[in-house]
Amino acid sequence: MDEAVINERERIAALKLTNDKVPIREWWFKDNALLTFAFNTSSATVPEGERFIVRAVEEARDLVSDSGLKKQADILIHEETAHALMHDAYNRYLDTQGFPATKHVLETKVLLLFFERIFTLKMRLATCMLIEHFTATYSKQIIEVGVLEGEDTDERMDRVWSWHCIEEMEHRSTAIDLYRALGGGYFLRVLISAFVSIAFLIAHVRCLIDFLVAKRLLFKWHVWQKGIPYLLGKKGVYYLVLKYWLFYFKPGFHPAQIPIENRFNKQLHHYHIEDELVGYFDVPVR
Ligand SMILES: [Fe+2]
Ligand SMILES: [Fe+2]
């Protein structure tokens, strides 16, 4: 808590909303249902993935001797543990809003526990690497395009996602560095990644459709018309995920080859803010 917090104005605005018990509205991003639900879908599918990553990285950390890499692993473990706790609160909030979030948390958990049972450590690390590649490119787009910098975005959700995205960008190389230190090679990386890409896509799209069905919006044309540019357009959240997906399959790929630019000078990661963020979801249901 001692270090400078550049986004102090946003912290105060978010705190005021919480203190005034202002509910987080159902469509918290510019009243755009599709984009809001896409973020909510990521929240539902993320915490069990983060716990899967933590378990694999803990095991890998104990097998490597490089102290710098061990330190990188410790940072990732700390950050993913905090993210998962925050998303647990976020997902409880989604349940109270009528989204079947817990159902998808549990489905993701079952799938990842199955992977954990049948995969070797290197295969699990290869799974982590692809998840980390998706989250890093998703995060890069959100932060660099300033997707959440609109005036009509709930400040609390801006802080929740900006914090998560910045840390994802910063620790994007850890899983692949561990994998390589343990002798992981190209063939296994791309084989697992092709398989996991399909599983990830199915889980994510199923959850998004379920959320739209829950709100009776799946077949509302205006929702798609207004939302698609925010998902797939040049400024859409999935734009870089799609653009960099094939890039990942290049031999010799390393996440550091994708440059990161924090244009909005967001600095939310320099102190432990997870308790503050979890508190945002303690607001009454409207
Ligand atoms: Fe995370
Ligand atoms: Fe991560």
The total of other beta-carbon atoms located within 10 Å of residue 42's CB is: 21
The pLDDT score that the predictor gives to residue 31 is 79
Reported as a single tens digit per residue, the pLDDT across 205-242 is 999 999 999 999 999 999 999 999 989 998 889 998 99
Reported as a single tens digit per residue, the pLDDT across 79-113 is 999 999 999 999 999 999 999 999 999 999 999 99
Whole-number Å distance, alpha carbon 74 to ligand 2 midpoint, is 12
Whole-number Å distance, alpha carbon 219 to ligand 1 midpoint, is 32
Whole-number Å distance, alpha carbon 178 to ligand 1 midpoint, is 17
- Ligand number nearest to the C-alpha of 42: 1
Residue with tokens 């798609």: 224
- Ligand number nearest to the C-alpha of 161: 1
The model carries a pTM of 0.92
Helix orientation angle between 101-118 and 186-214, rounded to the nearest 10 degrees: 160
233 Cβ contact list (under 8 Å, min separation 6): 239
- Ligand number nearest to the C-alpha of 73: 2
Provide the residue ranges of all domains of the chain, joining segments of one domain with +: 8-280
User: CA-based Rg of the chain, rounded to a whole angstrom?
Assistant: 18
The total of other beta-carbon atoms located within 10 Å of residue 241's CB is: 18
Q: Low-confidence residues of the chain, pLDDT below 70?
A: 1-6, 151, 262-272, 283-286
